[in-house]
Homo-oligomer: A and B are copies of this chain.
Amino acid sequence: MSISTKPPPEARAAQADAAAQRLKGQPVSAIDTPALVIDLDAMDRNLHRMAEFAKKHDLRWRPHAKLHKSAQLARLQVQAGAIGVCVQKTSEAEALAAGGVRDIFISNEVIAPMKLARVATLARNLGSVGGRLAVAVDSMVGALGLAEAMAAADGSAGRLTIDVFVEIDVGQGRCGVAPGAAALELVQEIERHRTLVFAGLQAYHGNAQHLRSVHERRDAIAQAVDAAVRTRQAIEAQGIPVGLVTGAGTGTFALEAASGVYGELQPGSFLFMDADYAKNDPDPAQPQFDQALFVKTQVISVAADHAVCDAGHKSHAIDSGLPVVHPLPGDPALVFENGGDEHGILRAAARGGPLPTLGDTLWLIPGHCDPTVNLHDRMVGVRGGLAHGKIERVIRVDARGAVT
């Protein structure tokens, strides 16, 4: 590394990428720590199970790419049968489109005129290569702003359109217009604009995903389904067809699938899973998924009653709890305690039990997969298991930090 010059950031990014790509074919031990590692065998099983489920239920499947933020994985999901992907942010959509993803739904509200102009540009660019952009709307201000931006991007051509899903609040209490009359009023406004194509209802119940019992999840989704049906009826009573009801996540998608109301499923986390989803009681109606995402970490300090590893809050998100240590055969059973931004503190699971040795490798299951991925520039894909596998691919997190 030269230090007398100051390489521009793009040169450093390219260097880091080249170094990462050189890992291909090497054993797991070549991965420096901390690092995000995908068990590709587990990921492929998860992908296959989800694809099979959607096919069996004859439903469209649009996985949420806010999980992986990777164009490579989005394309893999489309190859497996997904219709396209969801994202939450305009900049995520741009990053994935730049990586060759053609059908993208921004399942979130966009309000700022400077963002709406980008949405319109992206709709035009995707359209020019046979792709499609959709966006969620939950307010008159949002619908009017979008129509204005689309008209500006269209110019005199008069052909540019964007799919608009009206988001209804089906019980989460976050975004979304109220089901029923308020949603109808918004649909009617959308119908007045030539550039806006009313495509259906966004009806996602985020909180329901993490309710622990199947019973609670069933009750929550029953309410969501009811809200969607009521809204659809109100809209269709005015002669406006509701093309699609879309929603669902990894915790509940079998329930939305069984409803007969949802035509498209949006689960994302199933691909990787995490310690939080592992706490849900399994629903026999939906496929079970394997843990595929891990943080590889190393023990860098050992004391009498604890060890310290090199992974902290800057390597894994803790919004859904601390990571869980995943012992490989022969590894000691350990509990992970908060050690701050750059460290994890490890204690024996049983009092007086064995601690790891300085330099040992440990594997962590993150508490929450989505924001953990967002901390990393790349994910290292391993084939053949964490203990003895080989590095098959290094996958860029293209939309890492894409929050705007």
Query: Which residues of A pack against B, CB within 8 Å?
Result: 1-4, 6-14, 17, 32-35, 66, 71, 88-89, 94-95, 97-100, 108-112, 114-115, 121-122, 125-126, 128-129, 131, 138-139, 141-142, 169, 173-176, 178, 206, 298-303, 306, 308, 310-311, 313-315, 317-319, 338-343, 345, 358-359, 370-371, 374-377, 396, 398, 400-401, 403-404
Contact = CB atoms under 8 A, between A and B. Distances in A.
Nearest to A311: B403
A8 B396 CA distance: 11
A313 B343 contact: no
Contact of A374 (B66, B314, B404): B314
A14 B94 CA distance: 15
A300 B110 contact: yes
A308 B3 CA distance: 45
A3 B33 contact: no
A10, A301, A339, A345: which has the most chain B beta carbons within 10 Å? Answer: A301
A403 B311 CA distance: 8
Nearest to A375: B401
11 contacts: A1-B98, A6-B99, A6-B100, A8-B14, A9-B14, A89-B342, A169-B303, A176-B301, A313-B319, A314-B370, A341-B374
A97 B1 contact: yes
Contacts of A131: 3
Given A89-B342, A109-B308, A174-B301, 19 more contacts: A1-B98, A1-B121, A1-B122, A3-B131, A6-B98, A8-B14, A12-B98, A66-B342, A139-B302, A174-B339, A175-B308, A176-B301, A311-B403, A314-B371, A318-B318, A318-B319, A341-B370, A341-B374, A377-B401
B8 A342 contact: no
Contacts of A108: 300, 342
A376 B400 CA distance: 9
Contact of A9 (B13, B340, B358): B13
A404 B109 CA distance: 36
Contacts of A110: 300
A292 B246 CA distance: 42
Given A13-B9, A66-B342, A174-B343, A34 B98 contact: no
Mostly, the A contact residues are loop
Contact of A300 (B11, B109, B343): B109
A12, A71, A88, A300: which has the most chain B beta carbons within 10 Å? Answer: A300
Contacts of A10: 10-11, 13-14, 17
Nearest to A126: B3
Nearest to A100: B6
A358 B173 CA distance: 16
Contacts of A100: 3, 6
Contacts of A302: 139
A1 B94 contact: yes
A9 B299 CA distance: 32
A363 to B, nearest CB: 16
B359 A141 contact: yes
B125 A301 contact: no
A351 B129 CA distance: 51
A33 B98 contact: no
A202 to B, nearest CB: 12
A16 to B, nearest CB: 9
B176 A371 contact: no
A288 to B, nearest CB: 24
Contacts of A342: 66, 88-89, 108, 403
A339 B355 CA distance: 38
A318 B121 CA distance: 34
Contacts of A99: 6
B403 A34 contact: yes
